[in-house]
Homo-oligomer: A and B are copies of this chain.
Amino acid sequence: MKYVKELISYNNAKKIVFNKLEEFLSDKFLEVDIFKALGKICFEDIYSPCNLPMFNKSAMDGYAVIAEDTFGASETNPIILNLVKEGHLNEEEAFRLSTGMKLPKNSNAVVMKEYTKDHETFVEVISGVYPNENVSKIGEDLKKGDIVLKKGETITPYHIALLSSIGMKKIKCYSLNIGIISTGDELLDIEDLIDLKQLEENEMIVNSNVLMLSDLVRELGLTVKPYKKAPDNPEFIEKAIKLALLENDIVVTTGGTSVGDRDYTIEKISEMGNLLFHGVQLRPGRPAGFLECEFNGKKRLIFVLSGYPVASGIQFELFIRSYFKPRKSINLPLNRNIASSLGRTDILRVKIVEEDGISKIEPLRISGSGILSSMTLASGYIIIEENLEGYEKEDIVKVYLL
């Protein structure tokens, strides 16, 4: 197989992909309405244009006061303050307000309603407050110029709350169209499936890769265009890829990668531009390829992924997902030994289990590029670098959480 001669290390492959993506994405953004920004990826650092809160606010229902006026107040020694209606306090005055209202000028604390008796023109305070008590101070959440969101961060509901609070109606987010093509005579698109007998009798399998990869793209907050399966026919594959290149910024193919009898995908793609690598010292996921080309005057990237669902899932994870939305990682001890081969990066699906009260990493027993349930049962994965022969029980290892 062609790629056997040209295998590169996972770390080199990753470097090549990430560098190309960085360059490629420099102008791939859209101003997204805040109502639709959830889950998208922020394209630039965002700094706060104002303080938040913008003014000193009451944190309670009660009375704005000058704290010093209330010192020593108690039930047996209530302090009397005159109620005013204007936005400015003099000594021995108070101002009635509700939670969230702006403090009048010269006031510096709020007495909770519970510790007062209201007499319309004056109020009795039966418990003193210190300066800033029950006050949301100007700028305590964000100061003008504070960073709110960093380039590359995924926008959560809490970010939305913060961004809207500082008046952002639109957010610059990554915007990309990604086309997905699966190749293989044996594939049947799910919309063409009648029943299971049809699969068995025709010795076909459902084109599950196109569905999985489409949803993996959707999870990135990017736009996906899934295509119908391409049969193992070089002209057809060429046409399909060209259409996808026309309609998308990036094309992801699965299947036909190993330069076998029917492996026209990589053959056809190689003719289209600059094949940056094909074949990675990686398991699962070895036959990954990556190409840049110009099509119709525009720069395009093509990811050539394996036809095996687990392999293509892992390849997507490592080369695409990790760039756009890196998984959270945690360092935990292993609960058993793991063997690995030198010279190859191994991706091991794992579960997190509780042992002696602490969380530990347990490798899943199932493996194999065909075993999809190894992905649905995994709570994460670990990367065993190519210079390691494995790990020992109790070694602390970084687990990436799925």
Contacts and interface: CB of A to CB of B under 8 A. Distances in A.
A160 interface: yes
A354 interface: yes
Given A167-B193, A199-B54, A219-B157, A141 B372 contact: yes
A369 B375 CA distance: 39
A313 interface: yes
Interface string A33-57: 0110010000000000110111101
A157 B54 CA distance: 43
Given A38-B218, A161-B212, A208-B161, A373 B142 contact: yes
Interface string A175-193: 0000000001010001001
A383 interface: no
A215 B38 contact: yes
A61 interface: yes
Contacts of A100: 184, 186, 205, 307
A372 to B, nearest CB: 5
Interface string A199-212: 11001011111011
A90 interface: no
B165 A208 contact: yes
Interface in A249-288: 258, 260-263
Contacts of A82: none
A158 B313 contact: yes
Contacts of A328: 379, 401
B370 A53 contact: yes
A200 B165 CA distance: 12
A309 B216 contact: no
Contacts of A199: 54, 167
A164 B196 contact: no
Given A372-B141, A376-B159, A164 B208 contact: yes
A54 B200 contact: yes
A28 B215 CA distance: 24
Nearest to A187: B100
A156 B376 contact: yes
B38 A162 contact: no
Contact of A167 (B55, B159, B162, B195): B195
A331 interface: yes
A116 interface: no
Contacts of A54: 196, 199-200, 205
Contacts of A207: 164
A149 B332 CA distance: 27
A101 interface: yes
A359 interface: yes
A368 interface: yes
B98 A260 contact: yes
Contacts of A260: 61, 98-99, 113
Given A100-B205, A166-B196, 10 more contacts: A38-B218, A53-B205, A61-B263, A136-B370, A160-B208, A161-B309, A162-B208, A167-B190, A167-B199, A331-B354
Interface of A: 1, 34-35, 38, 49-50, 52-55, 57, 59, 61, 98-102, 113-114, 136, 140-142, 148-149, 156-162, 164-167, 169, 184, 186, 190, 193, 195-196, 199-200, 203, 205-209, 211-216, 218-219, 258, 260-263, 307, 309, 313, 328, 330-333, 352, 354, 357-359, 368-373, 375-376, 379, 396, 401-402
The 10 closest A-B pairs by CB, nearest first: A157-B215, A61-B260, A161-B212, A158-B375, A161-B208, A102-B203, A38-B215, A164-B208, A331-B359, A330-B359
